[in-house]
Chain A
Amino acid sequence: MSYRNRELANLLVVGVITGFGFASVYIARQDVISASSLSYGIFFLCLYAVAHVVTRFTVPNADPYILPLGGLLTAVGVTEIYRINPQDALRQSIWIVIGLLAFTGTLVLLRRDYRVLETYKYICGLGAVGLLVMPALPGLGQRVNGARLWIHVGGLQIQPGEFAKLLLIVFLAGYLREKREVLAQGRLKDLGPLLLIWGAAMLVLLETSDLGSALLYFGIFLAVTYVATGRGLYVGGGLAMFAAGATAVYKWGPSRVHQRVDAWLDPWHYVHTIGYQTAQGLYSIANGQFGGTGLGKGTFADTAGNVLIPDLKTDMIFSALAQELGLIGISAFLLVYMVFALRGFRIAMIAEDGFSKLLAVGLTFGFAFQTFIIVGGILRLIPLTGITLPFVSYGGSSIVANFVVLAGLLLVSDRAQVRTA
């Protein structure tokens, strides 16, 4: 079976799963929601069909699994958002359509050779910093939950950081492809431009209190540098810097950092204040137990209808899913992320040139590490920082950016498969 036929078969399976998901929410909550929920299943089938046709024309030899996996995650996300609040699911669906347009645009624009991006690496790097600065600008930015991450453009709320991440990965891949030999030999002066752009990004993130993204960028930076240079010293030095930086920020940084760490160490001690979100998130997960309450049957609100977990549909959506899907369901859900990451790393391995490899590693590791940061934060493996769960959390910018990641991986894999075939 050809790659694209395989992809079509996978998408059909995902479509059926999506249909079941919405049907179970409808059955469980038919007292409050209408049968129109079932139209979401058809909506997703149409979207998958469109995406599939686009890949057939632009990247015929690309990996047949990552699009269905991304589609599945998106569908799970919208199903859960729909269960929490049907109006939000409608908005999220519109963003998914926009994401699909970005996906199509990326594939069409870069279908001949995406490696032209390498030429624009410095523009990408500076662009990333520029995007990150935007929310901090007076008049443009908006503060939510103590972090300035959003800008308002014509009534739309956009989180530029989600796109800055992509530009930064392109910059890292391009720059390190060019300098990796000299860096591997230890010529530190070549680290200059890298540290400059990366350092600027980190400073902006700290200034806007976007701790989750700061951690994510740091991880991507270390992973890509390691793959490019093979020097454990850079990783060791980076981790040492991170430890020193983290300690300094904890001691002298904004009280927000201090609070997050204290709430992480003992959420129950602060259960009515800074530990509330962490504790209630864990309570929600624990309530799912082994089999889960079932889609639409979880408990997120009190008897008066007030939602009990702050940021449930965005940062904390994992705790909602874990309650309704149970250990069995949520393990399968996490395995989808794992398979997606494995496909991404495989694409990096079979890619021919250094830029493609580094680009694929950056995108894939960024995807996996972002998942770890937010879910690990909810599960109390690390302190909780606000960051979206890729493809699943409510939020337009995140959805659009992740569809571009998907397109990027498909482009790299298409080229690699043609070469190896």
Chain B
Amino acid sequence: MNDRIRRIAVVGVALLAALIVGSTYWQTWAEGELSARRDNAIQLVAQFKIDRGDIHAGALVLAQNRVVKTRGQTFYFRTYPHKKLAADIVGYSTQGRSRAGIERSLNDYLTSSNSDLHTLLTRIANSFEGATVRGNSVWLTLVPGAQYLAQQALGSECGAAVALDVKTGKVLVMATSPTYDPNLVEHHFDQIGKTQAHCAGPAPLINRATAGLYVPGSSFKLVTAAAALESGQFTPSSPFFDPGYCIEFGKHVNNFALESGGPEQFGNVTLAQGLQHSINSVFCNVGKKLGATKILDQAKKFGFYSTPNLETPPEEQRTSGLYNCDKHGRCRLFFPQHDYQVDPGRLAFGQERLQVTPLQMAMVAAAIGNGGVVMHPYVVDKITKPGGGVLQTTKPKALGRAISPQTASELTTMMESVVTGGTGTAAQIPGVRVAGKTGTGETSIPGVNQAWFVCFAPADNPRIAVAVTLENQLHKTGGEVAAPIAKSILEALLKQPTA
């Protein structure tokens, strides 16, 4: 009988061994996946027992902990001392409404559950000691003074402003308006819903700088001009005749209308003057000659048709490009297979079905300022360990070359003329050479414009690139309303020694 007892013993012990294997699976292999699940009620509470890392920008702490002791347990709840400052980037971490922004995308780092070896060892050591787990801190690239100024400048308008470091791709300012106070999310969410602003859907929780899709209007002429110069078929002095319109498919496409009525007419001009005065007919003719695909290929090189991969959550970022919408209002990114699918003339001056984010337009300006090389934008400068010491620092990364250095320098000269004597004179800064381009996108409602200004400075040694956009501007142009805001952001940032 003992042989059989031995066999049964093997079965019994094998069953118990299977339990150890099962525990190992759930506690190591599947642990990360389980703790990330939104229906994980344990994590929802346990996350708040971790001394979450702070989020800094410059000398300011934008997110820190409020310690609450209840029923023998210590909880670390979030508080945001500077309220609306960079709220859409920082986001929030709450029990009731989960997380958003950097609080969401970098949750692993903030709770020290990232898979970095040092963090892992510290965490295990802490858990053996029974000590509270302390998260890593995140330092943003934002410049608080300029960020504050940009948010003030946007005021109660709906829109966004982005400033990038031309050489590195650092996001120095990322303002969106209207925004919200993250302290209200947990218990006073209804107050956020009541936010008022000068547009139909204020949606303060949406970061318009990365997730707002807008008609670029004439600001897109930078991309068209780049494609034209890169093609070798045009130079800045290529001649055009502007009758006030351009004929496409047998119909008239008019220039921007003067307030006195009727379109502007410029007669004999060059490509450079076309950009300086933002003449639609000139770009319409460029578009016809190049074809839509060539322009869109150039746009791709600037970063269109791919997500910018900022450190904020992917679902809070949109991709720029042409969008096809069905009758239910569902829109999908669309790249034409044939030139005839897109109207090249209207595409060339930023109409057609183009939809862009403010971040993307800032990237276009920054790439021109950077001699043609597109830098990967980033908003997290470094992550530090709880005891001090740097865990990781973001290194600038080039995404690729969009245009040749020669094209970049020609475009810079053309953009300078926009500010010195064209549509963007409101962006002039005494003693600083500013290169810029205005944009006044026509929306589906006549007279209601999407105002743009994209620029960089100093033109002779570019450091800062800025894109500003404002929604719902009644009979106002980008040069009138967006350029002054871009100018004040530039001024604030150019004063910064290291930016």
CA distance A31 to B6 in the complex (A): 51
Q: Which residues of A contact B43 (CB under 8 A)?
A: 283, 287
Q: How many A-B residue pairs have CB under 8 A?
A: 172
Q: Which residues of B contact A364 (CB under 8 A)?
A: 12
Q: Which residues of B contact A288 (CB under 8 A)?
A: 27
Closest A residue, CB atoms, query B10: A345
Q: Is A114 an interface position by the 8 A CB rule?
A: no
Q: Give the distance to chain B from A312, nearest Cβ to Cβ, in Å.
A: 11
Q: Is A96 an interface position by the 8 A CB rule?
A: no
Q: Which residues of B contact A338 (CB under 8 A)?
A: 13, 16-17
Q: Is B69 an interface position by the 8 A CB rule?
A: yes
Q: Which residues of B contact A309 (CB under 8 A)?
A: 42
Q: Give the distance to chain A from B44, nearest Cβ to Cβ, in Å.
A: 8
Q: Give the distance to chain B from A72, nearest Cβ to Cβ, in Å.
A: 16
Given contacts A293-B127, A379-B26, contact A283 B41 (CB under 8 A): yes
Given contacts A345-B12, A368-B13, contact A268 B39 (CB under 8 A): yes
Interface residues on B, range: 35 or more
Q: Which residues of A contact B95 (CB under 8 A)?
A: 303
Q: Is A158 an interface position by the 8 A CB rule?
A: no
Q: Which residues of A contact B39 (CB under 8 A)?
A: 268, 271-272, 279
Q: Which residues of A contact B75 (CB under 8 A)?
A: 303
Most buried by A among B31, B41, B72: B41
Q: Is B67 an interface position by the 8 A CB rule?
A: no
Among B6, B16, B25, B72, the residue within 8 A (CB) of A337 is: B16
Contact A286 B8 (CB under 8 A): no
Q: Give the distance to chain B from A396, nearest Cβ to Cβ, in Å.
A: 25
Q: Which residues of chain B from 92 to 133 have a CB within 8 Å of any chain A CB?
A: 95, 124, 127-128, 130
Q: Is B46 an interface position by the 8 A CB rule?
A: yes
Contact A349 B2 (CB under 8 A): yes
Contact B5 A348 (CB under 8 A): yes
Contact B124 A227 (CB under 8 A): no
Q: Is B387 an interface position by the 8 A CB rule?
A: no
Closest A residue, CB atoms, query B126: A291
Among A24, A294, A297, A322, the residue within 8 A (CB) of B23 is: A322
Among A287, A337, A354, the residue within 8 A (CB) of B35 is: A287
Q: Is B331 an interface position by the 8 A CB rule?
A: no
Among A29, A285, A301, A354, the residue within 8 A (CB) of B27 is: A285
Among A308, A330, A345, the residue within 8 A (CB) of B45 is: A308
Q: Which residues of A contact B46 (CB under 8 A)?
A: 287, 293, 299
Q: Which residues of chain A from 56 to 84 have a CB within 8 Å of any chain B CB?
A: none
Contact B72 A29 (CB under 8 A): yes
Q: Give the distance to chain B from A48, nearest Cβ to Cβ, in Å.
A: 24
CA distance A288 to B43 in the complex (A): 11
Most buried by B among A300, A303, A323, A381: A303
Interface residues on A, range: 35 or more
Q: Give the distance to chain A from B34, nearest Cβ to Cβ, in Å.
A: 4
Contact A289 B8 (CB under 8 A): no
Q: Is B70 an interface position by the 8 A CB rule?
A: yes
Q: Which residues of A contact B7 (CB under 8 A)?
A: 226
CA distance A279 to B68 in the complex (A): 28
Q: Is A253 an interface position by the 8 A CB rule?
A: no
Q: Which residues of A contact B45 (CB under 8 A)?
A: 299, 301-303, 308
Q: Is A292 an interface position by the 8 A CB rule?
A: yes
Binds B, one of A35-43, A126-134, A199-207, A370-378: A370-378
Annotate B409-437 by CB proximity to A: 1 below 8 A, 0 otherwise.
00000000000000000000000000000
Q: Give the distance to chain B from A137, nearest Cβ to Cβ, in Å.
A: 34
Q: Which residues of A contact B9 (CB under 8 A)?
A: 341-342, 345
Contact A361 B5 (CB under 8 A): yes
CA distance A345 to B2 in the complex (A): 10
Annotate B47-64 by CB proximity to A: 1 below 8 A, 0 otherwise.
011000000000000000
CA distance A380 to B41 in the complex (A): 18
Contact B124 A290 (CB under 8 A): yes
Contact B130 A289 (CB under 8 A): no
Among B11, B41, B48, B70, the residue within 8 A (CB) of A223 is: B11
Contact B1 A354 (CB under 8 A): yes
Annotate A341-373 by CB proximity to B: 1 below 8 A, 0 otherwise.
110010011000010010001001100110110
Q: Which residues of A contact B20 (CB under 8 A)?
A: 331, 334-335
Q: Which residues of A contact B34 (CB under 8 A)?
A: 282-283, 286
Q: Is A326 an interface position by the 8 A CB rule?
A: yes
Closest B residue, CB atoms, query A337: B16
Q: Which residues of A contact B2 (CB under 8 A)?
A: 349
Q: Is A305 an interface position by the 8 A CB rule?
A: yes
CA distance A323 to B31 in the complex (A): 12
Contact A227 B5 (CB under 8 A): yes
Q: Is B327 an interface position by the 8 A CB rule?
A: no
Q: Is B258 an interface position by the 8 A CB rule?
A: no
Q: Which residues of A contact B152 (CB under 8 A)?
A: none
CA distance A302 to B49 in the complex (A): 11
Closest A residue, CB atoms, query B34: A286
Given contacts A341-B13, A381-B18, contact A291 B42 (CB under 8 A): no
Q: Give the distance to chain A from B6, nearest Cβ to Cβ, in Å.
A: 7
CA distance A228 to B25 in the complex (A): 36
Q: Is B446 an interface position by the 8 A CB rule?
A: no
CA distance A297 to B129 in the complex (A): 11
Q: Is B24 an interface position by the 8 A CB rule?
A: yes
Q: Is A32 an interface position by the 8 A CB rule?
A: yes
Contact A283 B40 (CB under 8 A): yes
Contact B37 A268 (CB under 8 A): yes
Q: Give the distance to chain A from B102, nearest Cβ to Cβ, in Å.
A: 24
Contact B1 A289 (CB under 8 A): no
Q: Give the distance to chain B from A332, nearest Cβ to Cβ, in Å.
A: 10
Closest B residue, CB atoms, query A374: B19
Q: Give the distance to chain B from A181, nearest Cβ to Cβ, in Å.
A: 12
Q: Is B15 an interface position by the 8 A CB rule?
A: yes
Q: Is B4 an interface position by the 8 A CB rule?
A: yes
Q: Is A33 an interface position by the 8 A CB rule?
A: yes
Contact B22 A379 (CB under 8 A): yes
Closest A residue, CB atoms, query B17: A338
Q: Is A280 an interface position by the 8 A CB rule?
A: yes
Among B31, B35, B48, B71, the residue within 8 A (CB) of A305 is: B71
Closest A residue, CB atoms, query B32: A286
Given contacts A326-B127, A345-B12, A357-B5, contact A308 B27 (CB under 8 A): no
Contact B22 A31 (CB under 8 A): no
Contact B6 A289 (CB under 8 A): no
Closest B residue, CB atoms, query A379: B22
Q: Which residues of B contact A226 (CB under 8 A)?
A: 4, 7-8
Contact B30 A286 (CB under 8 A): yes
Q: Give the distance to chain A from B69, nearest Cβ to Cβ, in Å.
A: 7
Q: Give the distance to chain A from B474, nearest Cβ to Cβ, in Å.
A: 48
Among B27, B48, B128, the residue within 8 A (CB) of A286 is: B27
Contact A299 B42 (CB under 8 A): yes
Q: Which residues of chain A from 1 to 29 have a CB within 8 Å of any chain B CB?
A: 24, 27-29
CA distance A342 to B18 in the complex (A): 15
Q: Is B498 an interface position by the 8 A CB rule?
A: no
Annotate A237-271 by CB proximity to B: 1 below 8 A, 0 otherwise.
00000000000000000000000000000001001
Closest A residue, CB atoms, query B9: A345
CA distance A304 to B243 in the complex (A): 74
Extra 15 A-B pairs, beta carbons < 8 Å, given A322-B26, A342-B9, A371-B16? A282-B26, A286-B27, A286-B34, A286-B35, A287-B42, A293-B46, A305-B71, A337-B16, A345-B6, A354-B1, A361-B5, A372-B18, A379-B26, A380-B22, A381-B19
Q: Which 6 A-B pairs have the closest CB atoms?
A: A32-B72, A379-B22, A345-B9, A368-B12, A291-B127, A286-B34
26 contacts between A and B (CB under 8 A): A24-B130, A32-B72, A33-B72, A230-B4, A271-B39, A283-B42, A285-B26, A286-B30, A286-B31, A287-B43, A292-B127, A297-B130, A302-B45, A308-B41, A334-B16, A334-B20, A337-B16, A342-B9, A345-B5, A365-B12, A368-B12, A368-B16, A369-B12, A371-B16, A379-B19, A379-B25
